[in-house]
Amino acid sequence: MTTAQIPLVIEPEQLQAQLDTPDLLIVDLGKPGTYARAHIPGAIHLDYAQIIAMQKPAMGLLPDATTLSQVFSSIGLTPETHVIAYDDEGGGRAARLLWTLDAIGHNKASLLNGGIGAWFNEGYLTENVPEQATPGTYQATIVDTAIADQQFILEHLGDDNVMLLDSRSPEEYRGEKKFAERAGHIPGAVNLDWLDVMDKSRNMRLKPEAELRALMEERGLTEDKTIVTYCQTHHRSALTYFVLKVLGYSRVKGYPGSWSDWGNSENTPVETG
């Protein structure tokens, strides 16, 4: 398998066979302590905080192109590099990196299914000595195809061709749990808790494709629509964004800042219940 043949979701046994492949960059977005105890051979650790920005109260924003250029240069990313991202929490932080790469037009990237949990629990070799990146020069340019901001959503409220997928807990969606100035959800949004796309019986892999597709279709999320995913900061919803992409949805966007932006704004409409 060459890097051009690597699927969007790669299994541990597939990655094991690819570890010595040129132009492959394995990025660990797990907790530093987890990385220090056990990581995939050759994996570079990337602190999640480096790929998000904040303008309080809005959190989880997309950093500017200059910042992203510095971050990706520091880990040795090149335009030819294929990134394999993983974490220790079921894929949220790793998927946020993958969404960020989409936001700069870098389409050579995959998710390790199950992350370090699947890799470690299934007996694959790990290391505990930190891997030192070879810095390079990467010029990031923001492209808007993967991004939906507050203005985009406001302009498309009531648009039958645009659907909103809220990936928070049902309690947050209904407004029973409040983590912003206002509680509730964006009008018209449907709810799918991000935890429901994970298969706990298979080391937190994504659920089988047929089950994932059913979850989307039950909510009226069809491939002919533009789907915007959001949560509190576009961490959890980065994973549902990625799932939609894996399922072949070609018009998917993520809302950086998400509810921390919408729910703390004065002039955005809100629904509860």
| CB within 8 Å of 8: residues ≥ 6 apart | 110, 111, 242, 245, 246
Which of the following is catalytic: 94, 231, 244, 246?
231
| CB within 8 Å of 61: residues ≥ 6 apart | 52, 53, 54, 55, 256, 257, 261
C-alpha closest to that of 196 among 166, 222, 223, 225: 166
Distance of alpha carbon 113 from alpha carbon 199, whole angstroms: 10
231 is known as an active-site residue = yes
DSSP reduced 3-state for 59: strand
Distance of alpha carbon 26 from alpha carbon 63, whole angstroms: 21
Q: Which residues belong to the active site?
A: 231
